[in-house]
Amino acid sequence: MKHLLSCKFNLDTACVELCFSDGSMIAIDTIAVENEVVNNMYQRSELDYLIYNDPMAYADLILTSNPKAYLKGVTEYKSLD
């Protein structure tokens, strides 16, 4: 069984990197994720907050949850029209 050793946001690559005890690593490309799941600036802001302040929660959201459903539930967007 592998254990998570570290989880951090790498500003140079724009990836959240997870390193495990067996030497494996997962890098989540945050730009690609945002381009795929974000519909408005409020949702992008929510993901950016997680990336910078709680990268572990971000990684958990992307790897094990439904990010579109999460963003729909936590952000409120009202059109100016």
Q: What is the pLDDT of residue 65?
A: 87
Q: Tell me which residue of 27, 33, 22, 36 sits closest to 9, measured CA to CA.
A: 27
Neighbours of 72 (CB within 10 A): 13
Domain ranges across the chain: 4-74
pTM of the predicted model as reported, rounded to 2 decimal places: 0.84
| pLDDT tens per residue across span 19-67 | 999 999 999 999 999 999 998 888 999 999 999 999 999 999 999 988 9
Residue whose entry in the numeric block shows the structure tokens 């907050």: 49
Kindly give the pairing relationship between strand 25-29 and strand 15-20: antiparallel
Stretch (H or E) spanning 21: none
25: which DSSP letter?
Answer: E
Stretch (H or E) spanning 20: strand 15-20
Q: Are 18 and 25 in contact (CB under 8 A)?
A: yes
